[in-house]
Structure 1
Amino acid sequence: MSEQDWEAWEGINVADLDDLSEIAQLRDQVIERRRSRAGKRRKVRDEYIRPIVDAEGILNRLAVDEGEVEERVFTEAITNQYESREAVKFAGVLLAIPLAIGFGVSRAIAQPLWSYAERLDPAAFAATDNQKVEGAHELHIEELRLRMQASLGQAPPLTDEQVYEHLHHTALHLNEEFKEANKRAMLNVVSDTTSGTVFFIMLWRQTVQRQILFRTIGRIFTGLSDTAKAFLIILITDILLGYHSEEGWTATLRLFSGHYGLEAEDEALKIFVATVPVFFDSLFKVWIFIGLNKQDPAAAVTLKQMDRH
């Protein structure tokens, strides 16, 4: 296994790690090797700094030359540093480019189209029935506010015609707000759809960068202590299906639906909260238990004990 991971090692002289020039040369060689292999690596990671978990790990620590082991550890550190830097760059690009393209498409293409459609049909983005009910509720509150101020002497008394005129202007203002909200919701659909499409295309095409990013995330997670891993896993699962998670899911779904101009029905919300979080929670726990049992049995035992309590 270690020979497969370090198959490009043969033929390289052991460097003197006390010589700064040789260290710099070794660093350049490692980075150039990573680039020439397009970031690809074998399955075994950090062979000489992982715990002794099997016979081959013990053999590697007993039978390998000390200088070669020291240089391999140094090389592995350089490789991890290089991959971490590349992962941060790719993550930044993966977030910035889709957002920029989605924003540009929605403002440069969709927004002029919406304005043109509104000129052709003034009712293209008319208020929905739920918005009309919300507007009627706000008008009722405004009318009560006017009458309360007049009753307290804080405003001059208004006739029914004056109250109607004021409410009429308020209704026109609310109607314009609802139309603008509907236009923004359509822009959000275009922007988010474009950004999501670009995101998945980049993630699908950039195979090497994707592998480096996932390896870096996995290395960060596996580098945590057993207690930290168990705490993080239980925290996530409790957020998905905890005592107060129903309110969190409901608020999130209402914000999500409002972002796209949709109306969240109470029955649909209840069915979603009763099924989807439970499925995610079970799937997440099974996936984590399987992964930890393969890679870190001690962490899996700690997680089971914490989850039981």
Structure 2
Amino acid sequence: MRIKPNPKSQKPSFVPRSILQTLEKLKQALEPNAEHKVVEEFRASRQRTISSLRYLVILFIVPLLVNILFKTFIIQPWIDKYWSQEPSEIFLNSSQEERALTELKIFERKIKFEVLLEKAPELSSNIVEQRVKDQAIALSQKYKTESIDAVANVFADILSLLSFIILCVFGKQQLTTIQFFSADLIYGLSDSAKAFFIILATDIFVGYHSTYGWEIILENTFFIILATDIFVGYHSTYGWEIILENTSKHFGLPENKSLILLFIATVPVVMDTIFKYWIFRYVNRSFPSAVATYHNMNE
């Protein structure tokens, strides 16, 4: 059903609307209780700010505490008890097994290399075999603990998500206050500040600057990944690979390089398209001068 526009709202006026708004503000400022109204508005704004910040802290702290407490005292001990009944169960996936074999091979080669460099005494084959066996036992315990931790992370994160959803469902009034607080905060920023945060968001998540120049300058130093991620954002393949690989380890998922590269090749592009559409559709309508500043800063 189409809503007809109100003809009164479209009625032309002989006096410009900006002048009428200025006169209205002047009238409000000259009222006898204008100072009292300003103080009351300031107190209400301060109360909204305090309430918003308090609830934001609750939204962050409560799911975090649920995750830590349930994982430490309930989930992990229960999984550890169950896992101990299956001594043969060590690895959750083939990626863990490959990493363990790689570490074991490196350990064995390191022993032989130190002997060849005369940094260690000559060892018999039995001693070398025993050391490799001890290392294999240590690695099995390490990856068994990693597997238990990954399974516990799944259940703990689900509980954290549920606690967050419950807080959002039962705190609709507080969320509305946060929404108004965020709107006031955004509208209070200058056009340059709005453009700066837009550029910062696009560069961190969906930018496409090259990292090769930084690699050539730094020449394979330890800080290549750190510098490229700081100066050209997580849109680089290094940053996305670190995030996705750590996420896979966190949940005990197999590390699939092809899937990671496919994600990097598609998801940032989709994010960039959505972000540009958002700027064109909404930001350009609400903050046209900020969008103009954004384009000038980007050039």
Match in the other structure for 1:265: 256
Whether 2:77 is the aligned partner of 1:112: answer yes
Is the Cα–Cα contact under 8 Å of residues 75 and 152 in structure 2 kept in the other structure? yes
Whether 2:165 is the aligned partner of 1:200: answer yes
**Residues in 1 aligned to 2:91 and 2:206: alpha-carbon distance in whole angstroms:** 39
Q: Name the structure, 1 or 2, with higher relative contact order (CA <8 Å, separation 6+).
A: 2
Is the Cα–Cα contact under 8 Å of residues 248 and 255 in structure 2 kept in the other structure? yes
Query: Counterpart amino acid of 2:245?
Result: R
TM-score, scaled to structure 2? 0.78
**Residues in 1 aligned to 2:297 and 2:119: alpha-carbon distance in whole angstroms:** 62
Comparing 69-78 with 242-251, which one deviates more in the overlay? Answer: 69-78
Whether 2:57 is the aligned partner of 1:57: answer no
Task: Give a deviation string over 1:115-165, Cα, whole Å, max 9, x none.
Answer: 221232223443632222222222222222212222233322112122111
Is the Cα–Cα contact under 8 Å of residues 237 and 285 in structure 1 kept in the other structure? no
Match in the other structure for 2:189: 224
Match in the other structure for 1:88: 53
Matches within 5 A, 1:12-91: 54=18, 57-64=21-28, 66-67=30-31, 68-91=33-56
Distance 1:180 1:263, change over 3 A: same
* 1:300 CA displacement: 2.5
Comparing 283-292 with 139-148, which one deviates more in the overlay? Answer: 283-292
Whether 2:90 is the aligned partner of 1:100: answer no
Q: Say which SS state the counterpart of residue 64 (structure 1) adopts.
A: helix
* 1:54 CA displacement: 4.5
Query: Counterpart amino acid of 2:123?
Result: L
**Residues in 2 aligned to 1:220 and 1:53: alpha-carbon distance in whole angstroms:** 26
Match in the other structure for 2:292: 301
Match in the other structure for 1:176: 141
* 1:107 CA displacement: 2.3
Match in the other structure for 1:246: 236
Match in the other structure for 2:117: 152
**Residues in 2 aligned to 1:71 and 1:292: alpha-carbon distance in whole angstroms:** 35
Match in the other structure for 1:291: 282
Query: Counterpart amino acid of 2:286?
Result: Q
**Residues in 2 aligned to 1:160 and 1:125: alpha-carbon distance in whole angstroms:** 27
**Residues in 2 aligned to 1:152 and 1:240: alpha-carbon distance in whole angstroms:** 47
5+ residue gaps, structure 2? 1-15, 212-234
Comparing 65-74 with 79-88, which one deviates more in the overlay? Answer: 65-74
Distance 1:297 1:151, change over 3 A: closer
Query: Counterpart amino acid of 2:249?
Result: G
* 1:238 CA displacement: 1.7
Comparing 82-91 with 158-167, which one deviates more in the overlay? Answer: 158-167
Match of 1:280 among 259, 266, 271: 271
Distance 1:210 1:249, change over 3 A: same
Q: How many residues align?
A: 257
* 1:254 CA displacement: 1.2
Q: What's the % identity of the aligned pairs? A: 28
* 1:296 CA displacement: 2.9
Task: Give a deviation string over 1:13-57, Cα, whole Å, max 9, x none.
Answer: xxxxxxxxxxxxxxxxxxxxxxxxxxxxxxxxxxxxxxx984653
Q: CA RMSD in A?
A: 2.3
Distance 1:292 1:73, change over 3 A: farther
Query: Counterpart amino acid of 1:270?
Result: L
Query: Counterpart amino acid of 1:181?
Result: E
**Residues in 2 aligned to 1:171 and 1:148: alpha-carbon distance in whole angstroms:** 19
**Residues in 1 aligned to 2:29 and 2:110: alpha-carbon distance in whole angstroms:** 86
* 1:170 CA displacement: 0.6
TM-score, scaled to structure 1? 0.76
**Residues in 1 aligned to 2:39 and 2:287: alpha-carbon distance in whole angstroms:** 24
5+ residue gaps, structure 1? 1-51
**Residues in 1 aligned to 2:287 and 2:36: alpha-carbon distance in whole angstroms:** 26
Match in the other structure for 1:191: 156
Query: Counterpart amino acid of 2:193?
Result: A
Is the Cα–Cα contact under 8 Å of residues 150 and 157 in structure 1 kept in the other structure? yes
Query: Counterpart amino acid of 1:286?
Result: Y
